[in-house]
């Protein structure tokens, strides 16, 4: 039982990080039909912004804020203006290819600047063990869970309880109508990209102490989050959250009770089942398109 | 397919650009190492050790009056790329080849070097490398068949353990190591309570550590690569494993692991075939030179690279000519002492299989540094 609880908490902590990244995926898709295949690299890069700020003498908390700010500027604003806007008018496929190219560029750039070796990254909190029902739960797992859940709750409040959030939702549901209602669709889409950058930067802060900061980290994270978004429902934020947690828990349980070697296959098996029996995802909506 | 194509292009471009021909005053000895990918830590250390030695040898006039021409090729830690590079450098008729460090790469390369009758001075530690009867492969550090008995003795006699939890990387390095370790455990009647296979480059060790913890063994033995060691140690400490001894092989105590794992590495113990912390003046002198040149502390792979170049120098000077076949013949059974060749750092003997024998160490991480607690003599002594 104790082992199961530990696996569950650990899976929830990892799943919460996947959920953050997957939520970003769905936000971009909903507002601008952008499938960002550089999403994993968007999580990998902020860790290096933070390390660079720390190298220049900033304490961790300040470096983290600088990392988030730089992410918003470069991975939100600049990405939207320089890559998404010019490419989106040519359709989804050219944009997908552009984001694949961007992911390769970011990976190689980090490798050249920081070497191919992993870099140590500070943990969010000091290590401390909590003993619950015979299981040892680390303060770091709990901190990851707390931060990720807080970020999701804040996002939910922003989207559902503020005028700005409702305008963003309106943009996602029907851009033409939103425009008629006087909502600046362009600005709302831009805000979504900035929110995605913040989510990626937070995910980076949470995952890098575990994975260590390394140029290849985005590969695993990007795939896991993409699968989470599809399993949960690509057009629903809450679907992405459920998908993220599901993959995190499943990954841990299958590694422990089946085999580490086959752990990567478990989410794919779930994906196949979902596509066969519920193609819109666990919580997704069926989308009808006119031709 | 696209990846394969790009890799092939990169291989062709690199080789094409880097080997435009060799002047008669130089001798061609290429290095094929892991400069990127999961093996980059090991490969770059090996490469820099080689560079330092080659620079020193060339500054003193080279070998038999010829300076060493050592272009470096990156295997990207991929066996396929490594094999392609070896084939290309063989086309340029090298005297010897240095590297690679990854056992998986060595195992696919050595068929080519054996066929071409060119000695390959490798950093790989998989037991299988020297069990194939290849007279052209030479190690620069212990193989698993030499290091595991020392570890087995320590776990049984030093720690008095009755049970052990094993975590190993499922690769050409990890699998033979695991097999050799299990053999030693059986010899000492130590029960292996859990036997967990992990993946190369694995990032998340939480499930593995929870299983290890649940096994409640007397000793935990992780046999995985450097970065994975760091992640494993961090996760182990995170999950509250603080009292069970974590004992490993050289990779566990490498400088990079200590740097990455931070305080989580504290107390980890390992058998170390080579270390810059060895209380040997020649090794300390090497460390100072290496740090001055490359501005970082090398791990055991740095020493492997450094001594590899001096091994070639000494054997070549002994035979008095650049003859690859004569080199391979003479190197088997040769003992080189620091008195004969200071660059060899410690007395070493190469047996008929190309395995190396020399003194080794038992180390522990104390206050964020590797501390040597015991020197273990050569097996042949």
- Given this model, what pLDDT does residue A264 score? 79
- CB contacts, 8 Å: B204 with chain A: 14, 210-211, 251-252, 255
- Given this model, what pLDDT does residue B57 score? 97
- Given this model, what pLDDT does residue B171 score? 87
Average pLDDT along chain B: 90
The minimum CA-CA distance between B297 and chain A, rounded to whole Å, is: 14
- Given this model, what pLDDT does residue A288 score? 56
Residue B24: pLDDT band (50, 70, 90) is low
CB neighbour list of residue B208: distance below 8 Å, 6 or more residues apart: A255, A256, A260, B167, B196, B198, B232, B235
Concatenate the DSSP letters of all residues of B14-33 into one string: HHHHH-S---TTEEE--EEE
The answer to whether the CB atoms of B256 and A117 lie below 8 A apart is: yes
Is the pLDDT at B172 greater than 50? The verdict is: yes
- Given this model, what pLDDT does residue B38 score? 77
- CB contacts, 8 Å: B234 with chain A: 209-210
Out of A3, A117, A260, closest to residue B41 by CB: A117
The answer to whether the CB atoms of A210 and B202 lie below 8 A apart is: no
- Given this model, what pLDDT does residue A137 score? 85
The answer to whether the CB atoms of A252 and B207 lie below 8 A apart is: yes
Q: Which residues of B165-188 are buried (b: 16+ CB within 10 A; e: fewer)?
A: bbbbbbbbbbbbbbebbbebbeee
- Given this model, what pLDDT does residue B356 score? 93
Q: Give the total residue count for chain B.
A: 381
- Given this model, what pLDDT does residue A259 score? 77
**Is A290 at the interface with chain B, CB within 8 A?**
no
- Given this model, what pLDDT does residue A261 score? 75
- Given this model, what pLDDT does residue B168 score? 95
**Is A125 at the interface with chain B, CB within 8 A?**
no
Is the pLDDT at B274 greater than 90? The verdict is: no
The minimum CA-CA distance between B35 and chain A, rounded to whole Å, is: 8
What tens digit of pLDDT does each residue of A146-162 get? 999 999 999 999 998 99
- CB contacts, 8 Å: A116 with chain B: 35-37, 40
Tell me the C-alpha distance between A142 and A127, whole Å. 11
The answer to whether the CB atoms of B37 and A116 lie below 8 A apart is: yes
**Is B201 at the interface with chain A, CB within 8 A?**
yes
The answer to whether the CB atoms of B239 and A136 lie below 8 A apart is: yes
The answer to whether the CB atoms of A256 and B262 lie below 8 A apart is: no
| H/E run at residue B121 | strand B120-122
Tell me the C-alpha distance between B283 and A194, whole Å. 53
The answer to whether the CB atoms of B198 and A220 lie below 8 A apart is: no
CB neighbour list of residue A270: distance below 8 Å, 6 or more residues apart: A231, A246, A247, A250
Burial class of residue A273, CB neighbours in 10 A (0-12, 13-18, 19+): exposed
Read off the tokens for A30.
């909903």
- Given this model, what pLDDT does residue B15 score? 45
- Given this model, what pLDDT does residue A257 score? 85
Residue B380: pLDDT band (50, 70, 90) is low
Is the pLDDT at B155 greater than 50? The verdict is: yes
Q: Coil, helix or strand for B198?
A: strand
- Given this model, what pLDDT does residue A287 score? 66
CB neighbour list of residue B136: distance below 8 Å, 6 or more residues apart: B110, B113, B114, B117, B118, B119, B120, B324, B328, B354
Range scoring the smallest mean pLDDT among A167-171, B68-72, B305-309: A167-171
Burial class of residue A57, CB neighbours in 10 A (0-12, 13-18, 19+): exposed
The answer to whether the CB atoms of B238 and A212 lie below 8 A apart is: no
Residue B332: pLDDT band (50, 70, 90) is very high
Q: Chain B window 21-40: which residues touch A at a Cβ cutoff of 8 Å?
A: 35-37, 40
The minimum CA-CA distance between A47 and chain B, rounded to whole Å, is: 15
The answer to whether the CB atoms of B210 and A3 lie below 8 A apart is: yes
Tell me the C-alpha distance between B109 and B116, whole Å. 11
The minimum CA-CA distance between B279 and chain A, rounded to whole Å, is: 28
The answer to whether the CB atoms of B201 and A217 lie below 8 A apart is: no
Nearest chain B Cα to A129, which residue? B240
Q: Which of A10, A139, A219 to probe by mutation at the B interface, max B CB count within 10 Å?
A: A10
- Residue B271 pairs in a beta bridge with B362
Ranges under pLDDT 70 in chain A:
287-291
The closest of A171, A186, A230, A226 to A21, measured between CA atoms, is: A226
- Residue B376 pairs in a beta bridge with B360
Q: Coil, helix or strand for B248?
A: strand
Q: Coil, helix or strand for B219?
A: strand
- Given this model, what pLDDT does residue A260 score? 74
- Given this model, what pLDDT does residue B14 score? 47
Torsion of CA B172, B3, B256, A120, to 10 degrees: -130
Task: Give residue A111's Cα distance to chain centre.
Answer: 22
- CB contacts, 8 Å: A110 with chain B: none
Residue B248: pLDDT band (50, 70, 90) is very high
Read off the tokens for B109.
């390369």
- Given this model, what pLDDT does residue A194 score? 95
The minimum CA-CA distance between A117 and chain B, rounded to whole Å, is: 6
The answer to whether the CB atoms of B259 and A120 lie below 8 A apart is: yes
Out of A120, A217, A256, closest to residue B207 by CB: A256
- The whole-number average pLDDT for the span B84-113 is 95
- Given this model, what pLDDT does residue B36 score? 84
Kindly list the structural domains of chain A, giving each domain's residue range(s) and its CATH number in brackets, ordered by start: 2-277 (1.10.3470)
Average pLDDT along chain A: 90
Tell me the C-alpha distance between B330 and B109, whole Å. 22
**Is B231 at the interface with chain A, CB within 8 A?**
yes
Is the pLDDT at B94 greater than 90? The verdict is: yes
Please name the residue that has the structure tokens 């193989």: B143
More confident residue, A77 or B1: A77
> What sign for the dihedral angle of Cα A25, A26, A29, A35?
positive
Read off the tokens for A44.
């990998």
Tell me the C-alpha distance between B275 and B280, whole Å. 10
**ipTM > 0.90, yes or no:** no
| Rg, Å, chain A Cα set | 19
The answer to whether the CB atoms of B36 and A261 lie below 8 A apart is: no
Tell me the C-alpha distance between B10 and B14, whole Å. 6
């Amino acid at each position: 039982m104790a082992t199961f609880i530990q696996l569950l908490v650990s899976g929830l902590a990892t799943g919460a990080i996947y959920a953050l990244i997957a939520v970003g995926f769905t936000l971009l898709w909903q507002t601008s039909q952008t499938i960002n295949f550089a999403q994993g690299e968007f999580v990998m890069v902020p860790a290096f912004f933070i390390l660079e700020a720390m190298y220049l003498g900033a304490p961790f908390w300040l470096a983290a804020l600088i990392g988030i700010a730089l992410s918003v500027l470069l991975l939100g604003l600049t990405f939207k203006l320089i890559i998404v806007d010019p490419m989106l008018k040519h359709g989804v496929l050219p944009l997908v290819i552009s984001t694949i190219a961007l992911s390769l560029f970011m990976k190689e750039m980090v490798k050249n600047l920081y070497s191919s070796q992993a870099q140590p990254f500070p943990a969010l909190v000091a290590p401390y063990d909590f003993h619950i029902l015979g299981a040892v739960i680390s303060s770091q797992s709990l901190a990851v869970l707390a931060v990720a859940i807080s970020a999701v709750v804040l996002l939910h409040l922003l989207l559902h309880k503020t005028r700005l959030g409702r305008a963003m939702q309106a943009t996602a549901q029907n851009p033409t109508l939103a425009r008629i209602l006087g909502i600046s669709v362009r600005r709302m889409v831009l805000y979504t990209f900035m929110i995605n950058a913040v989510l990626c930067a937070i995910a980076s802060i949470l995952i890098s102490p575990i994975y260590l900061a390394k140029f290849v980290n985005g590969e695993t994270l990007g795939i896991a989050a993409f699968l989470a978004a599809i399993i949960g429902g690509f057009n629903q934020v809450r679907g992405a959250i459920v998908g993220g947690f599901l993959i995190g828990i499943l990954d841990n349980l299958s590694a422990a009770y089946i085999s580490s070697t086959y752990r990567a296959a478990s989410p794919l098996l779930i994906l196949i089942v979902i596509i066969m029996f519920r193609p819109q995802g666990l919580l997704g909506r069926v989308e009808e398109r006119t031709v | 397919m696209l990846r394969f194509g790009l890799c092939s292009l990169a291989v062709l471009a690199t080789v094409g650009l880097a080997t435009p021909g060799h002047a008669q005053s130089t001798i061609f000895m290429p290095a094929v190492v892991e400069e990127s990918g999961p093996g980059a830590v090991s490969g770059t250390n090996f490469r820099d050790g080689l560079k330092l030695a080659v620079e020193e040898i060339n500054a003193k006039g080279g070998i038999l009056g010829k300076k060493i021409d050592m272009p470096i090729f990156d295997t990207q830690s991929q066996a396929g790329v490594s094999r392609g590079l070896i084939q290309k450098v063989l086309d340029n008729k090298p005297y010897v080849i240095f590297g690679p460090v990854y056992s998986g790469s060595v195992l696919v390369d050595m068929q080519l070097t054996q066929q071409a009758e060119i000695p390959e001075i490798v950093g790989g530690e998989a037991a299988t490398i020297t069990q194939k009867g290849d007279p052209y492969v030479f190690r620069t550090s212990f193989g698993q068949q030499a290091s595991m008995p020392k570890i087995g003795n320590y776990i049984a006699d030093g720690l008095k353990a009755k049970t052990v939890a094993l975590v190993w990387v499922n690769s050409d390095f990890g699998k033979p190591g695991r097999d050799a370790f299990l053999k030693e455990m059986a010899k000492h009647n130590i029960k292996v309570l859990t036997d967990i296979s992990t993946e190369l480059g694995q990032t998340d060790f939480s499930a593995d550590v929870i299983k290890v913890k649940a096994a409640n063994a007397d000793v935990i033995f992780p046999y995985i690569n450097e970065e994975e060691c760091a992640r494993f140690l961090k996760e182990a400490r995170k999950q509250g494993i603080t009292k069970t001894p974590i004992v490993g092989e050289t990779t566990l105590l490498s400088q990079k692991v200590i740097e990455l794992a931070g305080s989580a590495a504290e107390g980890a113990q390992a058998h170390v075939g080579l270390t810059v912390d060895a209380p040997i003046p020649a090794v300390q002198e090497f460390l100072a030179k290496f740090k001055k040149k490359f501005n970082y502390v090398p791990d055991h792979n740095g020493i492997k690279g450094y001594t590899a170049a001096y091994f070639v120098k000494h054997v070549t000077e002994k035979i008095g000519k650049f003859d690859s076949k004569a080199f391979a013949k003479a190197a088997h059974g040769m003992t080189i002492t620091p008195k004969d060749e200071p660059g060899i750092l410690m007395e070493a003997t190469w047996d008929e299989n190309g395995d190396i024998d020399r003194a080794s160490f038992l180390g522990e991480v104390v206050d964020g540094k590797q501390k040597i607690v015991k020197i273990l003599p050569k097996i042949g002594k």
